[in-house]
């Protein structure tokens, strides 16, 4: 089974023998892959819509993993089984992820790890997870179809984050790679263009200038 680059990178950091619920699973390929490749023994493909869930069911039959991968119709975490200890959120924005968790926050009682691949809003994800007493244990920036994505893995444990760590990621700052550099170089270019168009009287201008200063500081260290 061949996964997309994003899904494969997520699969690679799922802890062995964990029980995983893939929220918004769509075709169910991630939870199926985890079982087929013996990363885990039991997973759940969870989706709010019937159509993608039926697609997941077809794939579960195709790969003959019906005794290990279970499709569940659920609005977010509403019908989350009690034996799940790992959540995966991919292909959705930070606001959606935060709303899903906030709506059923009591469902986190047995969750030791959460893996997220937000399309946008990594800053908000890091800030939110810190407020829930989860710490970031792994991060990676990947490039797929000319778009940069952040993969963030959190485990239970308190972690205070600075503004810089919320923006760039505490793990990323210790493991800077070419994708990280290229992503922030591109963001900087767009921000410089944006700042020039913002009136001097706008409070937003100072906010963007402060963020640009942080970006310049990080990029300078990669050159030095």
161-220 pLDDT tens trace = 999 999 999 999 999 999 999 999 999 999 999 898 888 888 888 888 999 999 999 998
Q: Rounded to an integer, what distance in angstroms lies between the CA atom of residue 138 and that of residue 155?
A: 9
CATH class, 5-160 region: alpha beta
- Given 3-state DSSP classes, what are the helix, strand and coil percentages for the chain, each rounded to the nearest 5? 50, 20, 30
**Which pTM value belongs to this model?**
0.95
Q: Rounded to an integer, what distance in angstroms lies between the CA atom of residue 11 and that of residue 16?
A: 10
Q: Rounded to an integer, what distance in angstroms lies between the CA atom of residue 177 and that of residue 182?
A: 9
The count of residues in the chain is 224
Per the model's pLDDT, the better-predicted residue between 2 and 70 turns out to be 70
* pLDDT over 70 at 224, yes or no: no
List the one residue out of 192, 199, 193, 194 whose CA is nearest residue 213: 192
Residue 85: its pLDDT value, please? 98
Contact 172, 141 (CB under 8 A): yes
Residue 156 has φ and ψ, to the nearest 5°, of -60, 135
């Amino acid at each position: 089974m061949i996964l997309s680059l994003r899904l494969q990178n997520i699969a690679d950091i799922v802890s062995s023998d964990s029980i995983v619920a893939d929220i918004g699973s769509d075709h169910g390929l991630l939870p199926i892959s985890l079982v087929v490749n013996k990363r885990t023994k039991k997973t759940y493909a969870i989706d709010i819509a019937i159509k993608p869930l039926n697609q997941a069911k077809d794939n579960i039959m195709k790969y003959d993993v019906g005794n290990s991968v279970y499709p569940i119709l659920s609005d977010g975490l509403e019908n989350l089984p009690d034996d799940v200890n790992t959540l995966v959120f991919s292909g959705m924005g930070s606001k959606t992820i935060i709303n899903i968790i906030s709506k059923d926050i009591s469902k986190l009682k047995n969750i030791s790890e959460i893996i997220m691949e937000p399309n946008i809003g990594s800053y908000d994800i890091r800030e939110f997870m810190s407020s829930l007493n989860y710490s970031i244990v792994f991060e990676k920036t990947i490039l797929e179809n000319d778009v940069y994505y952040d993969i963030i893995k959190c485990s239970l444990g308190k972690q205070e984050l600075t503004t810089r760590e919320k923006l760039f990621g505490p793990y990323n700052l210790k493991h800077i790679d070419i994708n990280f550099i290229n992503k922030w170089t591109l963001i900087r270019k767009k921000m410089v263009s944006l700042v020039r168009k913002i009136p001097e009287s706008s409070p937003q201008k100072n906010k963007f200038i402060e963020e640009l200063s942080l970006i310049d500081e990080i990029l300078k260290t990669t050159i030095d």
